[in-house]
Chains A and B, each alone.
Chain A
Amino acid sequence: MKVTFPHLGNMYIPLKSFFECLEVDVVVPPACSKRTLELGIKYSPEFACLPLKINIGNYIEALEKGADTIIMAGGIGPCRFGYYAEVQREILKDAGYKFNMVVFDPPKGHLWELFKKLEMITNKKIYSYNNLIYAARLAWQKAKLLDELDMMACRARPREKFEGETDKFYKKSIKLIGDVMTLTGIKNIQKQIEIMFRDLILTNSDSPRIGLTGEIYTILEPFANLNIEKQLGEIGVEVHRSIYITDWVRHNLFPAFLKPREHKEFLDSSKPFINCFIGGHGQESIAYVAKCAKEGFNGIIQLLPFTCMPEIVAKSVLPSASRKYLMPAMTLVLDEHAAEAGLRTRIEAFVDMIKYKSEVQNENEMFIGH
């Protein structure tokens, strides 16, 4: 049995290590490329959102490489994601691929069922629960380190000594994290990476800070958002995300008593613009505007795939929220036709505007004195 799963940013590293710890063969789909997208578009429904299309491309490329079992997350709506797996299964079957699909659904996702499904994937191999716990811990530590790495890279990129050095180190670190297979090893690597990035930063100068918010897939998957973090970094902007992989895991997979408490307060800050859960991360998108305003960010960019339902609601109230919190905001709708050059022009204009705004503010403070 060879297991595969769709890409979501760097998620493949912890997943791969988790299954390899349980001695399951893993086929990681090739990194998302133009071909992935083309395959996805060819087989997917026209109005499905971008993540579904890229997923299909990932599956096909992984199946071509010999995978035979697809692991996918499920959901209970109202976002479309919860029904992805069913549609994707039909699409791939109709396209003539032979595979097995294991879907992890949260509503019935009691731990016991999770174990049963894992046992199925691991071919009913009897492994000790210690082994399972070790695998989960290792994957969790890797995911945490990867998120930290992303944060460090976003901080370093606008301040790097030599152009392109951050990306070089980033790639190196990814490889290090991917290769390590022990918990102690991770700690060592963490130190190594921290030192590497500390040396990289030239000055601690202030650069404008922009928050990325919106739909989780388009935030986390650089292929879907046309590498917006890197592009923003290159024009001297420090980028923060509204959600990281570990946040998603904490909110969705952890039992209730382990969930972070401040999350509810965070969600409440979306009022009065969005008063209740609207599916996906629509509520979080607006709550993050309030958070960024509190932390003194300079702007916010909302990302969403074309036709994403919760984010359309968020998008329609974003201008009002932006006015209330005096937070410049821009929305980028992404689909298979989005092009890097057009995106670059838009974010450059946005950053120019932000810089101009803070200059004016500084001058006012100097002359008027408040």
Chain B
Amino acid sequence: MGGKVILFVICIVFNNMEIVGNKTVMRCINKIMKIGIPRALFYYYYFPLWEKFFKELEQEVILSNPTNKVTIKMGVEAAVDDACLPVKVFHGHVMDLAEKVDAIFIPRIVSIEPGRYICPKFLGLPEMIKFNLNDLPPIIDIKLDLYNKKASILEHFFKIGKFLNKSRAEVLKAYFVAIKNFAFYKNYIRLYRKIPTEVFNNEILNYDDNNFKTITNQSKPCFKVLLLGHPYNLYDDYISMNLIKKLKLYNVKIITYEMLSEKKIFQGAKKLSKEMFWTLGRNILGSAFYFLDNEKVDGIISVASFGCGPDSLVGELLERRVEKEYKLPFLYLNLDEHSGEAGFNTRLEAFFDILEGRLTSESNFSSLR
């Protein structure tokens, strides 16, 4: 009896006994696949992890082109008109990839930490793509749901491995390399307060401490600005209209929530009367409250896309708290496909005029809304 149970357990662990529930997930025959990752949404969060994982499994990773006029145009035409800009842009990126790759990686991201969700649009993203776009290669729409337990992440990667016809041992090995690399990347960002996309492009992620020092020599910045918003809005240079580059021109030291550890975000989020159930929203509020309480910043820029559900409440809470408790200049930028760059620049200029004014004047001006 006991032997049977052990045998069964061994079967589960070593033989690919689990079932991939979705019909679109077909097993591939050739060994090296071109896997397309749309350069949108959670690319800005998980790319180092995904890339390393697929490379370890000897697959080719192909990214869509950076967001451009064509991507947005295609996305806006294909997507349902109520969707927010990042989701529309995502449609465009998938269309961009459609003819170049063997499979497109669009995981169904339900929850990336226990007890918290991502926006509902992410939950239905694979369906939105499948039923709005035609002639797509197979979509890897495997669920990532850590709502109940964190260990489900392994299951997620096993299922991806199953799709790629890899054994569990291979997947496990690739997973550990990738997750170690990802942890290193996260620590690197926190330690040196880097913008994630800078790290993506510099490709310094090879465990070499000497590389760190060369990049961190920078002249002393003038302003410290807390830049809040979802990573896929902030770091997409086309959506955010080069916001980060423009801020660099103003010689600004940018702080984003990726630069804070989970512990600090937790500490900040305690100021909320009710635990927030969106990971991204909680990160924004938690990092803002922690930062404003513990470090000095000159101003806050909050970036949201038009029609963003969580941000309509998160932004509201943030704005009210900042106004009441911290009295800091606060710039709220709302992005959509019709945003004009001139108006955007004017608002940014006005914001920095206020920051400069506050520097020179003895008494602080009232906060900007």
Contacts and interface: CB of A to CB of B under 8 A. Distances in A.
A86 B123 contact: no
Contacts of B23: 272
Contacts of A275: 22, 108, 127
A82 B132 contact: no
A73 B121 CA distance: 23
A316 B120 contact: no
B348 interface: no
Given A273-B131, A274-B124, A307 B312 contact: yes
A103 B273 CA distance: 12
Interface stretch (B57-65, B198-206, B288-296, B303-311): B303-311
Contacts of B79: 316
A313 B143 CA distance: 17
A305 to B, nearest CB: 10
Nearest to B316: A45
A280 interface: yes
Contact of B312 (A48, A103, A280, A313): A48
A309 B277 contact: no
Nearest to B21: A275
A277 interface: yes
Nearest to A307: B307
Interface string A305-322: 011111011111101100
Given A83-B277, A280-B120, A274 B313 contact: no
B320 A313 contact: no
A276 interface: yes
B277 A78 contact: yes
Contact of A276 (B110, B119, B128): B110
A59 to B, nearest CB: 16
Interface string B315-335: 111001000100000000000
A87 interface: yes
B277 A82 contact: yes
B352 interface: no
Contacts of B308: 47, 307
Contacts of B116: 77
Contact of A78 (B82, B108, B118, B132): B118
A31 to B, nearest CB: 26
B50 to A, nearest CB: 21
B82 A312 contact: yes
Q: Which of B121, B124, B143 has the most CB of A within 10 A?
A: B124
B121 A309 contact: yes
A278 to B, nearest CB: 4
Given A307-B309, A320-B131, A278 B317 contact: no
A306 B127 CA distance: 20
Contacts of A78: 117-120, 123, 277-278
Given A78-B278, A86-B272, A316-B131, A282 B124 contact: yes
A94 B118 CA distance: 29
B317 A313 contact: no
B274 A74 contact: yes
Contacts of B132: 316
A48 B316 contact: yes
A139 B262 CA distance: 46
Contacts, number: 122
Nearest to A315: B80
A94 B320 contact: yes
A80 B127 CA distance: 21
A174 interface: no
Contacts of B32: none
B214 to A, nearest CB: 42
B276 interface: yes
A90 interface: yes
Interface string B139-154: 0000100000000000
A86 B80 contact: no
B9 interface: no
A313 B128 contact: yes
Nearest to B277: A77
Interface string B249-283: 00000000000000000000000111011100000
B131 A309 contact: no
Nearest to A101: B273
Nearest to A273: B127
Interface string A94-107: 10000000010100
A152 interface: no
A333 interface: yes
Interface string A271-300: 011111111101000000000000000000
Interface string B69-111: 0000000000110110000000000000000000000001010
B313 A48 contact: yes
B311 A77 contact: no
A76 interface: yes
Contacts of A320: 131
Q: Which of A77, A277, A280, A307 has the most CB of B within 10 A?
A: A77
Nearest to B124: A313
B120 A90 contact: no
Contacts of A314: 124
Contact of A316 (B22, B80, B143, B277): B80
A85 B309 CA distance: 15
Interface in B133-169: 143
A47 B116 CA distance: 22
A79 interface: yes
A282 B149 CA distance: 25
A45 B110 CA distance: 26
Nearest to B119: A309
A260 to B, nearest CB: 24
B127 A274 contact: yes
B120 A47 contact: no
Interface of B: 22-23, 79-80, 82-83, 108, 110, 116-121, 123-124, 127-128, 131-132, 143, 272-274, 276-278, 306-313, 315-317, 320, 324
20 contacts: A47-B308, A48-B312, A77-B117, A78-B118, A78-B278, A80-B313, A83-B274, A90-B317, A103-B274, A274-B124, A280-B120, A282-B124, A307-B82, A307-B307, A309-B121, A309-B309, A312-B80, A316-B80, A320-B131, A333-B82
Interface of A: 45-49, 74, 76-80, 82-87, 89-91, 94, 103, 105, 272-280, 282, 306-310, 312-317, 319-320, 333
> Which 7 pairs show the lowest CB-CB distances between chains A and B?
A313-B124, A77-B277, A78-B117, A47-B312, A279-B120, A316-B80, A45-B316
